[in-house]
Chain A
Amino acid sequence: MEKTINIKVKVWRQAGPKAKGHFETFELNNISTDSSFLEMIDVLNEKLISERREPIAFDHDCREGICGMCSLYINGHPHGPDDEITTCQLHMRKFKDGETITIEPWRSAAFPVIKDLMVDRRAFDKIIQAGGFISVNTGGVPDANAIPIPKKNADLAMDAASCIGCGACVAACKNGSAMLFVSAKVSQLALLPQGQVEAARRAKAMVAKMDELGFGNCTNTGACAAECPKGVKLSNIARLNREYLCAKLKD
């Protein structure tokens, strides 16, 4: 049933990449519990604009949990308190009347803040550019049904491929490691016959790039998988480690 609640939001404000940030607190009344978290911020921004103040900058686009653009660290959790959803899918019914909600950007050395709650995640693109693909050109490929792929493998590959590249795993990790993200791509492609040809090279190149870009080491805390909005599993990290070891042994 629709209700309304009154809340306080404590938001990280930072004018630019080099500026010093600080928290600012706002009061918001009569927020519908049916509205989404981002719609709550829309309401707040409308209010700020009407008071001729600068609205809060935050990333978002699809607002249905698939583009991976939204990236808020809410009350100590990337994507907030609900399980297996993104920030944009979070609804205000998860919050209580009178509650103070703290909103911060992803915090990681590899994701510098651009403004307020927006961060630069191009490091993820760079990791993919290092090897997160199968080297085929357009045209000249075999018929799609030429190689049957066991349904189990296809399904596992699909699960790994569900990663939306949001970076919550990095934000959740005390070491700022990108292992879950990297392992999801390595697993997806290693599980498919098309991807096996380059599997070893891919694993090595992506891990090397990840290290180079300032992501931390993985110490198996599991925080990443616990916060991943798409349920990407830790078993992918185990698979990556296997692929990586094999590749190193071959050297």
Chain B
Amino acid sequence: MAKKQNIIDEAKEAIQKAAETVTETVKDVVEDEKTQKIVKQVKQTAEKVADKVQEIIDAPETKEAADALKDAAGKVADAVKAAVSGKSEKIITPKDAKIPEGPLAEKWTNYKAHQKLVNPANKRRLDIIVVGTGLAGASAAASLAEMGFNVLNFCIQDSPRRAHSIAAQGGINAAKNYQNDGDSVYRLFYDTIKGGDYRAREANVYRLAEVSNNIIDQCVAQGVPFARDYGGLLDNRSFGGAQVSRTFYAKGQTGQQLLLGAYSALSRQIGKGTVKMYSRYEMLDVVVIEGRARGIIARNLVTGRIERFFGHAVVIGTGGYGNTFFLSTNAMASNGSVAMQIYRKGAYFANPAYAQIHPTCIPVHGDFQSKLTLMSESLRNDGRIWVPKKLEDAKALQAGKLKGRDIPEEDRDYYLERRYPAFGNLVPRDVASRAAKERCDAGYGVNSTGLAVFLDFSDAIKRLGKDVVAAKYGNLFQMYEKIVDENPYEDPMMIFPAIHYTMGGIWVDYELQTSIKGLFCIGEANFSDHGANRLGASALMQGLADGYFVLPYTIQNYLSDQITVPRMSTDLKEFADAEKAVEAKISKLMGIQGKRSVDSIHRELGLVMWDFVGMGRTAEGLKTALVKIKEIKKEFWSNVYIPGTAEGLNVELEKALRLADFIEIGELMARDALNREESCGGHFREEYQTPEGEALRQDDKFSYVSCWKYQGEDQEPELIKEPLDYEFVQRQTRNYKA
């Protein structure tokens, strides 16, 4: 008897719990109609079951009744959980992302046809702050000024021409089909979606492919000296992840020439007075007034003065955060600080874990090393990648007893050609990088550290002659020789993967607007077009697409109802508060007076990132990373030493401010990587791979953009999902074998 009573009590408790779950979940659920309906249904079912249960309780107390009761209660709880799971989280819908209606190929045209514009007289009254002078920032600043807006443009370097974009080597993609090899806007779109391992937004990528052709026209009109063939027309080369030749290039200096093109357009506007240029300035915070971005706080790097700037809108084009790893192919001043500043003010940080590891970089050679040098992907057009077949040969190479050229043809393992016959040496970057790691992990590495593979041009030299190879890649060969002190015409190059690019970044909608009104984000700094892996020659395309052809349109849709907003005074409280916070942070840093240099702590962070958040990630490793990054954060904030004062030029202070943010980004990357229990593109979780070691996506669970929302210092950020529903392409497992 007492036992039966127990069972009944237990069951009652279970029902109560189920009811609580309902109330609890209902509380958090998003206020959309569909969810409300589901929840209402669930509630009604729960009530009905509860009534039934009551009936049973009132009936004779038999064992069966009690069991049925328990069972029913359990089912209620499960049903509630199932119905509401996935719905209790916040979701970004295509409508939230402002994706236009209609067929893929018409979305952008429709958007432009219906968007609101600002008339010329009003443009003059509107101030736009553009932060960054890379391809994205410079092209946006120039185009907006040409249209008649009043632009304020900022960069860290002494001249806008020196932004990190200048270093891009290989080329820029466009769907011109000048080679008549079957290229089209759709094919470029498809390759980009597939290359990104089905983790990018269809509508954005299609638009990117559409405007790619305009970019080439624009650059040629500006005087960019792209490579040409003897008939005087433009030449192309091929890049990884594509079977057509759609890459336009200017020797091995494509980024330089494109940036100088944008810089010349920008200079023309500076000369006219429509752009006011602030070089050697570093943005330290965004100013948000009544929910809208209205300006920035920046430090004059020469005088050390903190200054306030107003803008009706703010555009961020500050590049990627690859330098979180300390050693990367990025320029020394590349940083993720602005992304973190606006993240802390409410902009979502999307897919922080997606970082690209480039397969062809010069290997690390000493602990004094300050950065890694990329050898352009274009080299894979003619270079063949290999390691020895025999372990003893690899050992001899590692000991310096053999040279690459000593190993006979039959003892070489051209592992990319072996594993991926269809794409061979031109597989996408993530695939090539992992394959190199796999061989080196197995002991076949070819330099003293065992962390390098060969990139060999001897076949190309035989086939084309040394002169042709020199004309194509001469400057890269020279660069290699200056660094490594070996002649790549005679001995194969040694290369190894390195951190290169970050696909993740600030979340933006179709208009490139962040989750803060009036705050836009363009270029590598945003998350938008490359999914989980970027194809070669597509970053330059995206930066210029955003800056020349997308943002100057979409920003007007926002500004059209800002024309009556007068220029605001920077004496407003919001400006003063933001400035005070920046000053407090700087004096806190200056006041630590500990024992360690900024670089020594940054190196430590870099090692943790490379070891645990690098090419192969595991749940356990990522958890270790989170613990270690916390320790590094503590060490930084208690033991860093910054010489000098905050007044005047102080390079160590600049680096310390950036490192403070790199530490936070590192944590966010690890957190995102831990959440994403699948492998896709550049994000490889060792637990999720095919028997052949290829990335294994989990489309049913992770076909979404992870958007992280800041919740306060040392609080776990909230995860908001933007589901990726593929309407126009069919998701497949990427296959570069056949």
Residue positions of A touching B, CB distance < 8 A: 2, 16, 32, 34-36, 38-39, 42-43, 46, 48-50, 52-55, 57, 59-69, 82, 84-85, 89, 91, 93, 114-115, 118, 120-122, 124-125, 128-130, 132-139, 141-145, 148-151, 154-155, 157-158, 161-162, 164-165, 188-189, 192, 194-195
Contacts and interface: CB of A to CB of B under 8 A. Distances in A.
Contact of B373 (A43, A64, A142): A64
Contacts of A164: 256
18 contacts: A39-B370, A42-B368, A49-B643, A53-B643, A66-B255, A67-B166, A122-B279, A133-B264, A139-B218, A141-B217, A141-B218, A148-B233, A149-B232, A150-B232, A154-B228, A158-B251, A164-B256, A194-B220
Given A134-B223, A145-B233, 4 more contacts: A48-B643, A55-B652, A64-B371, A130-B271
Contacts of A155: 225
Given A55-B643, A63-B331, A142 B597 contact: no
Contacts of B371: 63-64
B218 A61 contact: no
Nearest to A90: B482
Contacts of B219: 144
A179 to B, nearest CB: 19
A137 to B, nearest CB: 5
Contacts of B264: 128, 132-134
Nearest to A52: B643
A67 B157 contact: yes
Contact of B265 (A34, A53, A115, A133): A133
A65 B371 CA distance: 13
A188 B223 contact: yes
A232 B169 CA distance: 19
B88 to A, nearest CB: 45
A142 B332 contact: no
A114 B302 contact: yes
B333 interface: yes
A148 B482 CA distance: 36
Contacts of B482: 82, 85, 89, 91
Interface of B: 139, 142-143, 146, 157-162, 164, 166-167, 176, 178, 214, 216-223, 225-234, 250-251, 253, 255-257, 260, 263-265, 267-268, 270-271, 277, 279, 302, 331-333, 365-366, 368-371, 373-374, 478-479, 482-483, 485, 548-549, 552, 597, 599-600, 641, 643-644, 648-649, 651-652
Contact of A55 (B161, B162, B651): B651
A62 to B, nearest CB: 5
A144 B233 CA distance: 9
Nearest first, the 7 A-B pairs at minimum CB distance are A148-B232, A133-B264, A129-B271, A141-B221, A158-B225, A144-B220, A138-B143
Contacts of A134: 221-223, 264
A120 to B, nearest CB: 7
Contacts of B217: 141-144
A52 B374 CA distance: 35
Contact of A128 (B232, B263, B333): B263
Contacts of A135: 268
A150 B302 CA distance: 46
Contact of B599 (A16, A46, A142): A46
Given A39-B368, A121-B159, A132 B373 contact: no
Contacts of B218: 136, 138-139, 141
B331 A138 contact: no
B151 to A, nearest CB: 13
B485 A93 contact: yes
A121 B158 contact: yes
B233 A34 contact: no
Contacts of B270: 125, 129
A42 B250 contact: no
Given A65-B479, A67-B157, A158-B250, A148 B231 contact: yes
Contact of A138 (B233, B265, B277, B366): B265
A66 B256 contact: yes
A6 to B, nearest CB: 15
A68 B161 contact: yes
A50 B597 contact: yes
Contacts of B234: 144-145
Contact of B600 (A2, A46, A68, A114): A46
A16 B365 CA distance: 36
Could you say which of B222, B302, B549, B649 has the most chain A C-beta atoms within 10 Å of its C-beta? B222
B256 to A, nearest CB: 6
B331 A46 contact: no
Nearest to A128: B267
